[in-house]
């Protein structure tokens, strides 16, 4: 009995360390602290995080499965590349997933949620036109969050959540370069808001898919 309890305690201690290592390393990749193409090793990251190699090794394996890392023969693990192909593929996926979420959530989004988004958007518009975008940067993701969280397909929501860190990786790298076109982003979200009010699945799906396609085009233009 004592041996079983000791084993359980070791497992319970190990799991938080694995999760800690996983989240910390992923955050370094998402924010580009670990830049694309950089080699990573268990020993280097373990020393940096103050964690033993075993949970770091498990975290790296998980991140490789999720395509944040890739293995190169004779080199080892490297941070996955960040290029136009990566951005294009990610936003093709986002367009499909969030478009379907929009179709399934339009009748479930509450009037209060729509009114809250509209009021916040109206309050922020003068600031955005004056070149102050911090408030808009905080509000804009909430349009997507409402659509995803009101979707009644749990597996679809899980897929979106799993991809979110990849999309954040793009935002951290490319977002500042497209700051000048945030008024376009603002106008497109008004179309999304109007589509929410219609309760028309096709209209909301079209609005969110068009917006995501336009965002992708603006981001891809930075690679030209």
Domain boundary residue among 41, 59, 79? 79
Same domain, 133 and 193: yes
Structural domain containing residue 15: 2-79
pLDDT for position 8: 34
Same domain, 144 and 179: yes
Whether the pLDDT of residue 11 is over 60: the answer is no
* pLDDT (average), residues 106-111: 97
**And the tokens for 109?**
């989004």
Whether the pLDDT of residue 97 is over 60: the answer is yes
CATH of the domain at 34: 1.10.10.10
* pLDDT (average), residues 146-152: 97
Q: Would you give the end-to-end CA distance of the chain in angstroms? A: 64
In Å, what is the CA distance from 67 to each residue of 10, 46, 212?
A: 29, 20, 22
Asked if residue 113 lies in contact with residue 146, where contact means CB atoms within 8 angstroms, the answer is yes
pLDDT for position 222: 85
- Total number of domains in the chain: 2
| Residue of 106, 21, 1, 104 whose CA lies nearest to 62 | 21
Domain boundary residue among 61, 79, 97? 79
Same domain, 217 and 128: yes
Same domain, 56 and 108: no
Angle at 216 between CA 212 and CA 221, to 5 degrees: 150
Same domain, 160 and 174: yes
pLDDT for position 24: 95
Same domain, 44 and 150: no
pLDDT digits (tens, 9 = 90+) for 176-216: 666 666 788 889 999 999 999 999 999 999 999 999 999 99
Domain boundary residue among 18, 49, 79? 79
5 vs 140 pLDDT, higher one: 140
| Integer Cα distance of 44 and 157 in angstroms | 35
CATH of the domain at 183: 1.20.120.530
Residues of the chain with pLDDT > 90, as a percent, come to: 73
Predicted confidence band of residue 87 (pLDDT cuts 50, 70, 90):
very high
* pLDDT (average), residues 150-164: 96
């Amino acid at each position: 009995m004592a041996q079983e309890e000791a084993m359980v305690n070791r497992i319970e201690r190990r799991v938080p360390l694995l999760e800690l290592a996983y989240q910390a390393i992923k955050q370094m990749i998402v924010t580009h602290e670990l830049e694309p193409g950089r080699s990573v090793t268990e020993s280097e990251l373990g020393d940096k995080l103050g964690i033993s190699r075993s949970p770091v090794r498990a975290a790296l394996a998980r991140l490789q499965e999720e395509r944040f890392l890739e293995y190169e023969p004779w080199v080892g693990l490297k941070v996955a590349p960040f290029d136009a192909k990566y951005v294009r593929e990610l936003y093709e996926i986002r367009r499909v997933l969030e478009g379907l979420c929009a179709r399934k959530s339009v009748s479930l989004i509450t009037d209060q949620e729509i009114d809250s988004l509209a009021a916040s958007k109206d309050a922020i518009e003068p600031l955005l036109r004056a070149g102050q975008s911090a408030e808009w940067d905080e509000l804009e993701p909430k349009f997507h969050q409402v659509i995803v969280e009101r979707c009644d397909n749990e597996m679809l929501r899980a897929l979106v959540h799993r991809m979110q860190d990849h999309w954040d990786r793009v935002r951290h790298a490319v977002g500042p370069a497209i700051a000048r076109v945030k008024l376009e982003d603002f106008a497109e979200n008004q179309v999304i808001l109007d589509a929410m009010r219609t309760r028309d699945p096709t209209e909301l799906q079209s609005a969110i898919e068009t917006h995501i396609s336009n965002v992708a085009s603006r981001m891809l233009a930075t690679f030209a």
